[in-house]
Structure 1
Amino acid sequence: MTSAAAESDVLRICRDLIRIDTSNYGPGVEGPGEREAAEYVVGQLQEVGLEPELFESEKGRANVVVRIPGEDSERGALVVHGHLDVVPAEAADWTHDPFAADLADGCVWGRGAIDMKDMDAMILATVRDFARCGVKPSRDLVVAFFADEEAGGVLGSHWAVDNRPELFDGATEAISEVGGYSVTVPAASGGDQRAYLLQTAEKGIRWLRLTAHGRAGHGSVPNDENAIVRLAQAITRIDAHVWPRQYIASVRALLDGLSTTTGITYADDDNTALLSTIGGARGFVEGTLANTSNVTMLTAGYKQNVIPQTASVNVDCRFLPGHEDELMAVIEELAGEHVTVETLHRDIALDAPFETDLVDRMKSALRAEDPGCEVLPYCLSGGTDNKALKELGITGYGFAPLRLPANLDFAPMFHGSDERVPVESLEFGQRVLARFLTDC
């Protein structure tokens, strides 16, 4: 299914990409952009005879797309995509330089090692191997590397969908990040059981700005219409609000599957014992039991002795599929009469079926490399570029396969310090991906 050259390629490419700083600081803040990484990707593809297209949404914000013909081009094409940008990293907080791609303790260390230059490397190594060996996938592949995913994909996947939809003509399904990784849980029959979490759903996004309005005045004069106080009261109400648990189908299937595997029962109001079995992935799952709202940024005032007329806070809200209107109604109520609510960025929730031929082929590819493993669906608390592709009717899944050591606290490394991926996991993922894309 794959060659020794591909396994060597995946490590080299992953390290090369990590060394290219593509930190995304968000809208309005200048950063290095993705151009250098995109040119690297183009070079890797051209080296094996492929003809990718590089295009920019803005100066330096580069995307790359290449179509690879399959055995049956009449079937709907599969989009295989990754993003080239990463969140920023403070070197002082890391054991190893976040942009050095050091090899230590059997891992590649660096920003993007799991989010998601590891998957970018798996994709590149696999399609390069196919081109070198003359392997044709079962259907057309649209291979894409997007900019700007870490800021909502406005200059990446969304821009490509809005301005270059022809690149995705005929595509029906897609795979990308944050799914297909393993957790090791205790088996009901004794010993351990490896289970791979395949992402079938994603929460939607509402990034909000709440602005409190009041009466400006001198800092020495009592003021019962202080915008900062009104904002603080709104923040307190939002922070204190307990969002009710609501078990969508993918979450229910995950919990039921874990319960069967481990023999640990759970109740809707108490799943602590069950979730404690999945280690660091627990946070991802807990984030999908309800809508969420988290305060992230504050702006208020401009001088020590002046009470400002307005004060604002940014709130990161994530809603379960089918629960967006409910989330917004609650936030409006909690904000109160003196606070306006503005949407800075919105993106849809996703919910794809688990019982499909495509998922069956993912399971087969995993079990060929890891016999006896379990494969369970789950919902992602964050978001991916699959949201943009859904606008073209493309159904997306998270499938970046990684067999992980039981003691590696994987999920908390997303956007965290000391991000790293085991070399063996990278090589495993490339083998699984090659099997899947040969028979997708």
Structure 2
Amino acid sequence: MTTTAADEVVDLCRDLIRIDTSNYGDGEGPGERAAAEHVAGLLDEVGLEPEVFESAPRRTSLVVRLPGVDPARPALVLHGHLDVVPAQAQDWSVDPFAGHQDDELLWGRGAVDMKDMDAMILAVVRQMAREGRRPARDVVLAMFADEEAGGTFGAGWAVRNRPELFEGATEAVSEVGGFSVTLAGRRAYLVQTAEKGLSWLRLVADGRAGHGSQVTPDNAVTKLAEAVARIGRHPWPLQLTPTVRALLEGVADLTGLPFDPQDPTSVDALVAALGPAARFVGATLRHTTNPTQLDAGYKANVVPGSAQAVVDGRFLPGLEEEFTTTVRELAGPDVRIERVHHDVALEAPTTGALMDAMTDALLAEDPGAAVLPYTLSGGTDNKSLSRLGITGYGFAPLRLPPELDFAGMFHGVDERVSTDALRFGTRVLDRLLATC
């Protein structure tokens, strides 16, 4: 009997989860080599010849190009990442790297971020190769290292050092989109067409070091604490970007709730109607600045000469300059700002041939559903690919149980995904590659 993508996708995902690719962001950890070699073997098994490369020891990525029916068309990048955030086993109900399965759920670190999508991609591509089918256009399949730490050793490195791998590509599809939510009893699939920008900032305050018993007006800790409080408590105003506005209009149409873009209460009610996905969407209504780290002093009775803090800032597409200016003003004249990590905000068209193809592929498998665009509050490797002029979307299609807290699965404890959702996703992806 011929093996189909739906037959093997759960096993593929389980096997990937069992390969620990924890990314601690400091160069420590197992790296992605074992997972990349495993994936390369799966592709080689069906006659494909991926190129495996490393940006640093054990920081391994791979790319393979699948010829399309119409090679004259611009290519599509279909990409995933092999690394995961760390998991503390004592906090979980199951071993996070055992690939535990029960009650139609597959548990483990990476089950939704994003070894589920990796497995769906592999299952579909393997089936197409076995059957001798080609995608509608050339597809550049990529599995990157290091996405969970900004992609420096993965997509970012590939874009800087191997841009020829993506020659002719104009669009990309990857994670955190295409999943379902339930609105007024009807399923709606959220396709990610935008993502906020990333601005990790170090705040540094200098002062006069001295004895803790003395009067010290020039105190670095005080200056820093005041700046951190101003930035962390700043009430960023409501600002609806085009993608967010389109999403809220769609939610209003499906639920019958009113939509007044000038009324925060109206907006909040529409976001709340998205259930667990409200966590994703609620953070895309405005800029955010969350203090995440503090570092000052070495003894209780010594006033330090400097103090530092780190702020995780996320800015809306098209509004980076406004965000940067405001943070500078909030920090004040006594605190300097150093960039820790920065990446662009993205906003792709919510209409067009690829968006139509994604919508059609979803509705072919779930005819009564709706499809809406949304903005991701985090980031993906689409940021790196955008530097090559490639427009990225989030489309890892999953038909989810209404009770599953999908947003809470990302980087959370007891991460898990429905096995039925994995099989659904393979069918949707197969349709997409055949038509897009």
Amino acid corresponding to residue 389 of structure 1 in structure 2: L
C-alpha distance in structure 1 between counterparts of 2:423 and 2:37, whole Å:
24
C-alpha distance in structure 2 between counterparts of 1:273 and 1:417, whole Å:
28
**1:235 partnered with 2:228:** yes
Q: Which residue is equivalent to 1:298?
A: 294
Following superposition of structure 1 onto structure 2, how do residues 373-412 of structure 1 map, counting pairs within 5 Å? 373-412=369-408
Q: Which has the larger displacement, 298-307 or 426-435?
A: 298-307
- TM-score when scaled to structure 1? 0.97
C-alpha distance in structure 2 between counterparts of 1:261 and 1:381, whole Å:
23
SS of alignment partner, residue 10 of structure 1:
helix
C-alpha distance in structure 1 between counterparts of 2:135 and 2:367, whole Å:
23
Q: Which residue is equivalent to 1:150?
A: 148
1:221 shift after superposition: 2.0
1:220 shift after superposition: 2.4
Amino acid corresponding to residue 25 of structure 1 in structure 2: Y
Gaps of 5+ in 2: none
Q: Which residue is equivalent to 1:252?
A: 245
Contact 1:214–1:338 (Cα < 8 Å) also in 2: no
1:4 shift after superposition: 4.9
Q: Which residue is equivalent to 2:13?
A: 14
Which of 393, 411, 417 is the aligned partner of 1:415? 411
Contact 1:177–1:384 (Cα < 8 Å) also in 2: yes
1:258 shift after superposition: 0.5
Q: Which residue is equivalent to 1:51?
A: 49
C-alpha distance in structure 1 between counterparts of 2:91 and 2:103, whole Å:
18
1:206 shift after superposition: 0.8
Q: Which residue is equivalent to 1:289?
A: 285
Gaps of 5+ in 1: 187-191
C-alpha distance in structure 1 between counterparts of 2:100 and 2:314, whole Å:
35
Q: Which residue is equivalent to 2:138?
A: 140
Following superposition of structure 1 onto structure 2, how do residues 1-400 of structure 1 map, counting pairs within 5 Å? 4-26=3-25, 28-186=26-184, 192-268=185-261, 269-270=264-265, 271-400=267-396
C-alpha distance in structure 1 between counterparts of 2:260 and 2:221, whole Å:
41
Which of 428, 433, 436 is the aligned partner of 2:432? 436
Amino acid corresponding to residue 50 of structure 2 in structure 1: P
C-alpha distance in structure 1 between counterparts of 2:194 and 2:116, whole Å:
21
Q: Which residue is equivalent to 1:189?
A: none
C-alpha distance in structure 2 between counterparts of 1:20 and 1:300, whole Å:
38
Contact 2:177–2:192 (Cα < 8 Å) also in 1: yes
Contact 2:3–2:127 (Cα < 8 Å) also in 1: no
Q: Stretches of 4+ moved more than 3 A in 1?
A: none
1:239 shift after superposition: 1.7
**RMSD of equivalent CA atoms:** 1.0
SS of alignment partner, residue 284 of structure 1:
helix
1:354 shift after superposition: 1.1
C-alpha distance in structure 1 between counterparts of 2:221 and 2:7, whole Å:
56
- TM-score when scaled to structure 2? 0.97
Amino acid corresponding to residue 126 of structure 1 in structure 2: V
Contact 2:244–2:375 (Cα < 8 Å) also in 1: yes
SS of alignment partner, residue 22 of structure 1:
coil
1:296 shift after superposition: 1.1
Contact 1:79–1:142 (Cα < 8 Å) also in 2: yes
1:214-271, CA deviations, whole angstroms, 9 ceiling, x for partnerless residues? 1111222221122111111111111221011111110000000000011011333212
SS of alignment partner, residue 95 of structure 2:
coil
C-alpha distance in structure 2 between counterparts of 1:335 and 1:273, whole Å:
33
The 1:54/1:29 distance shift into structure 2, 3 A limit, reads: closer
1:114 shift after superposition: 0.3
C-alpha distance in structure 1 between counterparts of 2:275 and 2:3, whole Å:
33
SS of alignment partner, residue 114 of structure 1:
coil
SS of alignment partner, residue 384 of structure 1:
coil
C-alpha distance in structure 2 between counterparts of 1:177 and 1:240, whole Å:
31
1:97-141, CA deviations, whole angstroms, 9 ceiling, x for partnerless residues? 111110022111011100000000000111111111101101100
